Structure formats: C-alpha cells, structure tokens
C-alpha cells in the first residue's frame, strides 16, 4: 500500500510547508494593515476637503452679507446689484458712467466711486486673509456702432472694456490714503472682458444695458487652499 503523503514528507519538508503558510499569513496581514492605513488616510483627506468646502461657503456668505448690509440702501439709485455666488457688485449700464464709446468717467460716476470704494475696502478689511484678489471688470454688450464683423466688434469692445476698467482703477487709486496704496495695488487689478460675459434675459437673449457694466469682484483664496491640501496628500 502506498505510503500517505505525510509519511512520505521528511521532517525538513514539513517545516518548509509550515514556513510558506506562515509567510502567506504574514503577507496577508501586511496587506490588510496597508489597506486600513490607506483608507484612513483617504477619509482624513476627504474630511479636510469637506471642512474646507464648508469654511469656503461660510466665508463667502459672510462677505456677501457684509456687502449687503453696507450697500443695500445705495444699490437701487446706483443702478447696481450684488451677486451672491461670485461676490460681484455690478454697476449696470456703464454708458451712464461714461460717454458712449469713451473711457473717461463722468462727474456723476466719480461721485459714486468716491462714496463706494472707501466703504468697499473697509467692508472687506476683516476678510483680507481669505481674499486673493479684487478685480475691477469692464464688460460691454455685443454691439458696436453700426456695421463691422462680429470679430471687429468684439475687439473694439475689448479695448473699450479694458480702458474703462483701467480708468476706474486709476480713479479709485486716488481715493486711497498713501500708506494703504501698496496693499491695494497687491490686491486690485483691472480687467476687460469685452462682450464675452453678457447678461441674459429670461428667454436667453442678451440684455444690452445690463451687459454694459463695471463690476467689482472678490476672488477668495479657496483654490490655493485646495491645492495645498492636495500637495500634502501626495
């Protein structure tokens, strides 16, 4: 009768089989520990991002509410509005601030800026640690005089929107005390978007008067915070 498998294994061979079994069990434990550590790390990173998102929403809401409290009584007669999501105060129908096709601010617009801008900076002062930039944006409608191709109209309006935003920046710069100018220059920039961001009516058509606007937009540093968390996770 053939000998059983166990009787045919030498003691050294039995020890080798036991060693392989122990090795496999050890490897499984190592892989299990690595999986647990990785899952915990992923959960911690998700919690960081969730906390950052909540902090971002809370900060956005606080800035919005502060701007509303400061300016809600002035917005109607300025022809202005605040957008909650983008933290933008838009002075609509910028043709009321400038001569048509020109970039020089009229006297009424200068008076509005003299009232608005110092209060605007003061309202944002408590949140400056979370503010990456303040953009003064020039926007136009898609119209430009008569005739001209769509491309020509766009670039004519681009020059106009850039000139208007720079003119507003130049003027509000003169309203800032000398000792505060370096900090302001580090934050505030003038940009022009031509007709690339029109204001639309409910039916999807362009509203030319609202599209022609000068806007002050707060840009927070939430993006930089997200990049920091992702870099730490690598």
Contact 79, 93 (CB under 8 A): yes
Residue 35 within a domain:
no
Identify whether 14 is part of a domain: no
In a domain, 19, yes or no: no
pLDDT of res. 43: 76
CATH of the domain at 221: 3.30.1330.60
Q: Give me the residues of the chain with pLDDT under 70, please.
A: 1-18, 20, 22-23, 49, 51-53, 145-146, 223-234
157 contacts 140 by C-beta, under 8 angstroms: yes
Looking at the structure of the chain, the number of domains it has is 1
Residue 127 belongs to domain spanning: 49-228
Position 27 in a domain: no
Q: Classify residue 103: in a domain, yes or no.
A: yes
* Whole-number pLDDT of residue 185: 85
């Amino acid at each position: 009768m053939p000998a059983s498998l166990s009787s045919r294994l030498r003691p050294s061979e039995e020890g080798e089989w036991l060693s392989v079994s122990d090795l496999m069990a050890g490897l499984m434990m190592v892989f299990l520990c690595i999986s647990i550590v990785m899952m915990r790390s992923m959960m911690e990173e998700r919690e960081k991002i969730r906390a950052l998102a909540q902090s971002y929403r809370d900060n956005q809401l606080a800035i919005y509410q502060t701007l509303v409290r400061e300016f809600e009584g002035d917005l109607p007669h300025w022809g202005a509005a605040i957008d909650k999501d983008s933290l933008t105060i838009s002075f609509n129908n910028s043709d009321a601030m400038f001569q048509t096709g020109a970039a020089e601010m009229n006297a009424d617009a200068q008076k509005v800026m003299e009232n608005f801008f110092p209060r605007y900076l003061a309202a944002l002062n408590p949140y400056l640690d979370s503010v990456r930039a303040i953009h003064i944006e020039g926007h136009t409608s898609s119209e430009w005089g008569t005739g001209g191709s769509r491309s020509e109209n766009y670039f004519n309006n681009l020059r106009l929107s850039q000139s208007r935003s720079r003119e507003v920046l130049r003027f509000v710069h003169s309203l800032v005390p000398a000792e505060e100018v370096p900090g302001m220059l580090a934050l505030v920039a003038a940009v022009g978007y031509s007709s690339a961001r029109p204001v639309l009516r409910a039916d999807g058509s362009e509203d030319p008067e609202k599209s022609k606007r000068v806007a002050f937009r707060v840009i927070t540093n939430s993006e930089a915070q997200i990049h920091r968390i992702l870099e730490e996770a690598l």
